[in-house]
């Protein structure tokens, strides 16, 4: 997962809205949105290589999503899969305080990440680089591949688009968010972040939707509309050249 936009307490019908894109190598095997056979409580896509996920929910009102932090100099070959963090939070019954302690004690065993986790009522985000844990406040938030307060162009662009979509439409349609997440506008070179990749690659990665080649790009868009009675979870998966491969809509009731 490489960018998430969160609207908390900004629409009367949907107290929480999450729109997210997952960027990944196309050769990495993945399964789309489904209830897991080994953990039927979990609704999420799944990384079939390491067994974790990038974004999911469960019947205990838990939500989790992970993005990598782009710090090449901190990468370790022996690190645990970051998708394990999403699966662990959705799978285990530990309370949030216990899980937060786990992050403080074990985050160094993973490559750099931001983790969003919590419930519809209280969402938190943790940075493994700064060791900072924040509770999201009502409003609009973007989380991508930098530190929590990094104002990357695609983050600012997406927050503005999400805000306009929500504030200009009394009735919301997931299709509008899906279109928004297909924005492939790249940043001006002078505004690119410097994460050590060089301007050519930074430019390619600077859009909300990363136009793919045969190797890497945006593979999945997810839109989660948390209503009063149920979650409408929409997912679209893409082929290596940006075409739609599959679309899924699951209505997930609250228990």
How far is the C-alpha of 235 from the C-alpha of 223, rounded, in Å?
6
pLDDT band, very low/low/confident/very high, at 244 (cuts 50, 70, 90): confident
Closest-CA residue to 141 (of 127, 166, 158): 158
Structure tokens at 167: 């504030």
List all residues 6 or more positions away from 238 whose beta carbon is below 8 Å from its beta carbon. Answer: 212, 217, 218, 219, 220, 221, 244, 245
The arrangement of secondary structure in 3-253, i.e. its CATH architecture, is 4-Layer Sandwich (3.60)
Structure tokens at 30: 């993945």
Closest-CA residue to 209 (of 21, 4, 5, 18): 21
Q: CB-based burial of residue 10 (10 Å sphere; 0-12 exposed, 13-18 middle, 19+ buried)?
A: middle
Host H or E run for residue 248: strand 244-253
Given a cut of 80, is residue 74 above it in pLDDT?
A: yes
Closest-CA residue to 4 (of 130, 131, 148, 185): 148
Task: Tell me the DSSP string of 157-172.
Answer: HHHHHHHHHHHT-SS-
With H, G, I as helix, E, B as strand and everything else as coil, classify residue 126.
Answer: strand
Interval 118-172: pLDDT, tens: 999 999 999 999 999 999 999 999 999 998 778 899 999 999 999 999 999 889 9
Q: What is the pTM of this model?
A: 0.96
- Sequence spans of domains, the chain: 3-253
List all residues 6 or more positions away from 225 whose beta carbon is below 8 Å from its beta carbon. Answer: 14, 17, 172, 174, 231, 232, 234
Interval 175-209: pLDDT, tens: 999 999 999 999 999 899 888 888 889 999 999 99
CB contact at 8 A, 3 and 67: yes
- Cα dihedral 115, 228, 41, 131 in deg (nearest 10): 10
Question: What pLDDT shows up at residue 84?
Answer: 97
């Amino acid at each position: 997962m490489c960018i998430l936009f969160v609207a908390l307490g900004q629409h009367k019908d949907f107290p929480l809205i999450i729109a997210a894109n997952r960027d990944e190598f196309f050769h990495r095997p993945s399964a789309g949105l489904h209830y897991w056979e080994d953990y039927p409580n979990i609704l999420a896509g799944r990384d079939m290589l390491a067994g974790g996920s990038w974004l999911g929910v469960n019947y205990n009102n838990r939500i989790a999503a992970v993005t990598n932090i782009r710090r090449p100099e901190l990468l370790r070959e022996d690190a645990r899969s970051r998708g394990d963090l999403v699966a662990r939070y959705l799978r285990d019954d530990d309370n949030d305080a216990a899980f937060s302690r786990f992050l403080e004690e074990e985050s160094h065993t993973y490559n750099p990440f931001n983790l969003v986790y919590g419930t519809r009522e209280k969402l938190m985000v943790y940075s493994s680089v700064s060791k900072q844990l924040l509770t999201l406040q009502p409003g609009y938030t973007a989380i991508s591949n930098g530190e929590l307060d990094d104002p990357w162009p695609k983050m600012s662009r997406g927050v503005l688009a999400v805000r306009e979509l929500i504030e200009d439409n009394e009735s919301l349609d997931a299709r509008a968010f899906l279109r928004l997440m297909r924005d492939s506008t790249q940043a001006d070179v002078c505004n690119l972040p410097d994460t050590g990749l060089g301007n050519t690659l930074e430019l390619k990665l600077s859009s909300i939707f990363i136009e793919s080649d045969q190797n890497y790009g945006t593979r999945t868009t997810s839109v989660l509309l948390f209503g009063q009675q149920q979650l409408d979870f929409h997912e679209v998966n893409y082929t290596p050249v940006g075409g739609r491969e599959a679309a899924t809509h699951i209505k997930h009731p609250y228990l």
